[in-house]
Amino acid sequence: MPTISGLGSSPFAGRGKTVRAENAVEIQSDAPSTPRKRILRSNAVQQAGHISPNPSPNSCSPMKLKSPRGRLTDSPSSPANKVILVILFNFCIDMEQLSMVKEAMHVSMAPSTIVCREYEQKRILEFCKQCVKQEKAGSLYVCGCPGTGKSLSMEKVKDNLTHWTKEERFPPLDVLTINCTSLTSTSEIFSKILGNNQARKKTSSPTSPLKHLQRSYSQKLQSPDMKMMLVIADELDYLITRDQAVLHDLFMLTTYPFSRCILIGIANAIDLADRFLPKLQSLNCKPMVVTFRAYSKDQIIMIIQQRLRVLPYRVFQPQALELCARKVAAASGDMRKALCVCRSAIEMLEAELRDSTYGLDLPSVEGGFSDKRTGASCETWIKQANSIVRVDHMALALSKAYRSPTVEIIQSLPQHQQIILCSIVKLFRGAKKDTTVGELNKFYTDVCKSTLIPPAGIMELSSMCRVLADQGLLKLGQSREDKLRRVTLKVDEADISFALQGVRFFRNCLQ
């Protein structure tokens, strides 16, 4: 039985070169070798000039693998085996390429270029440059929602500042980066600063680290060659205490006359400086604030495309990327969430590829294929395993990422109860916030008739509304007559739209 080699080779190999399956199959392509963007699926089957068998019984070894490898017959030159070998080759290339895409989309993979945050980086860098030029201390507060590029941008600024000081022949900065979540106590941050300030030499003084820093920055006792220090405190909100003393004392270090400390605090709370540092404002030493806004839909698409630019093949349908960007931008603008959703969609494509390969329905291999049937089988498999993330992959990944109890309840409801919710969403699109059971019944009946679904009667509708109220989706008012009872939604209309968007009928109804 033939063996296959070369399946672990790089997917970036020139397309004009000969691809060999050792002693089994030779596939030649006359396509040009110029690199270009292409769909992920290797099109060796479609562009093959010829498929010529070259069996060698001495080099054959048995394979104990699942279908379709297990379907190889004793005759390696049979058309069926040619089809299976080509399918296996393409499958291995696809899985390798998808693995590279997942790696590029990983949150821990820092991009070489940070896009959509140039303005914020420029402001922070200019602030640090002014402090270095004037040999003056200063404080800056960086805030923004999670996943908006704060920490990543600070790493870029730190590198640019170090490069700038070398070019301008300024003394190098002492840089101290602290993640406040790693501190055993809030006051430990002063020990970190003091240790860095004294070149990590322990002091024998019984004075606390904070008092030692305050005295050092208050009097001209520092050596002339004392370097300026850049302190970057990430997750600054972990230092919030009941009396805000630690935060206040930390920022006050930059206000002493002989302080040479540039402090940059990073946190999610936009109003942290206003809420927790009121004394700084009264002393006219409130830190400069740089806000990182949530990413927009276009920015999310741009960042994902920038990460994928290094890969010479196309992985996502444009509509799938836009769906992901729209949902994430509307929910939080968290870029990390968008990357996780894209990785989840790729994993769904991988599972689909495995299913379509191992469950490939080839006609009777033992009986052999005609050339026409062989080509048809290849084409069927290519259609079954189209290696690109589609909208349905992305919609499923988004539903898993943003799964909520409300969405799960709505998706598990019977069809007519879902139609009632869909009718209420359409009815409440304007300024209307409630309706009566009788008015809802008219709207519900029209929706059912437009799709040729037999509607339920008003008594059944009232009973279904009570069921929905018991599940916390609706609120029903009191009235002597059922048709006069007021109906109000208790859940967000967006949750209903998101839960029902996977069904074409509801998607068209809600448009």
Residues near 504 by beta carbon (within 8 Å), at least 6 away in sequence: none
Say how many domains are in the chain.
Answer: 2
261 domain residue, yes or no = yes
| CA pair distance 335, 150, nearest whole angstrom | 11
Distance CA 481, CA 499 (A): 32
Other Cβ atoms closer than 10 A to 378: 19
Question: In the block, which residue shows the tokens 């509708």?
Answer: 461
Residues 6+ apart with CB under 8 A from 89: 4, 7, 19, 21, 25, 27, 42, 44
The distance of Cα 437 from the centroid of its chain, to the nearest Å, equals 42
Indicate if 255 and 124 belong to the same structural domain.
yes
How many Å apart are CA 289 and CA 273, to the nearest integer?
Answer: 8
Decide if 49 is inside a domain. Answer: no
β-pairing, 25-29 vs 229-234, is unpaired
Q: Is residue 362 part of a domain?
A: no
Kindly state whether residues 287 and 412 are assigned to the same domain: no
Q: For residue 71, what pLDDT is reported? A: 47
Structural domain includes residue 493: yes
Same domain, 423 and 282: no
- The helix/strand/coil state of 318 is helix
CATH code of the domain covering residue 140:
3.40.50.300
3-state secondary structure of 195: helix
Q: What is the pLDDT of residue 377?
A: 47
Residues 130 and 262 in one domain: yes
Q: Tell me: do 276 and 425 sit in the same domain.
A: no
Strand 434-436: give its sheet, edge to edge: 434-436, 486-489, 474-476
342: in domain: no
Residue 127 and residue 275 in one domain: yes
Please name which of 230, 235, 150, 233 lies closest in space to residue 189, comparing C-alpha atoms. 233
268/432 Cα distance (integer angstroms): 36
- What pLDDT sits at residue 332? 85
CATH classification at residue 473: 1.10.10.10
296: helix, strand or coil: coil
Q: Which helix (H) or strand (E) holds 212?
A: helix 209-218
Any domain includes 351: no
Q: Which residues of the chain have pLDDT under 70?
A: 1-93, 197-206, 221-225, 277, 284, 357-386, 430-431, 511
pLDDT at res. 91:
62
CA–CA gap between residue 129 and residue 503 (Å, rounded): 56
- Domain membership flag for residue 190: yes
Question: How far is it, in rounded angstroms, from Cα 330 to Cα 40?
Answer: 30
Q: Are residues 137 and 266 in the same domain?
A: yes
Tell me: do 288 and 411 sit in the same domain: no
Domain limit, last residue, from 292, 313, 348: 292
Q: Which of 274, 292, 310 is where one domain is finished?
A: 292
Distance (Å, whole) CA 370 – CA 376 = 10
pLDDT of the residue at 320 = 93
The reported pLDDT for the residue numbered 340 is 93
Q: What is the dihedral of CA 302, 304, 310, 313, to 10 degrees?
A: -100
413 in the same domain as 280: no
Contact of 213 with 194, CB cutoff 8 Å: yes
Whether 126 and 268 share a structural domain: yes
| 297 burial level (CB within 10 Å; 0-12, 13-18, 19+) | middle
Residue where a domain terminates, one of 234, 264, 292:
292
Q: How far is CA 419 from the centre of its chain?
A: 32
Residue ranges making up the domain that contains 506: 406-510
Residues in the chain, total: 511
Strand runs labelled E in 341-457: 434-436
**CB neighbour list of residue 196: distance below 8 Å, 6 or more residues apart:** 174, 176, 229
Give yes or no: residues 127 and 272 share one domain.
Answer: yes
Q: Which amino acid is at 421?
A: L
| pLDDT in the model for residue 56 | 45
CA atoms within 13 A on the CB side of 357: 24
| Rounded CA separation 34/131 (Å) | 50
Is residue 170 included in any domain, yes or no?
yes
Structural contact between residues 41 and 386, judged by C-beta atoms closer than 8 angstroms: yes
- Residue located via tokens 């059944």: 460
Q: What Å distances lie between residue 16 and 22, 31, 86, 396, CA to CA?
A: 18, 5, 17, 37
User: What is the pLDDT, as a whole number, of residue 290?
Assistant: 94
Same domain, 272 and 413: no
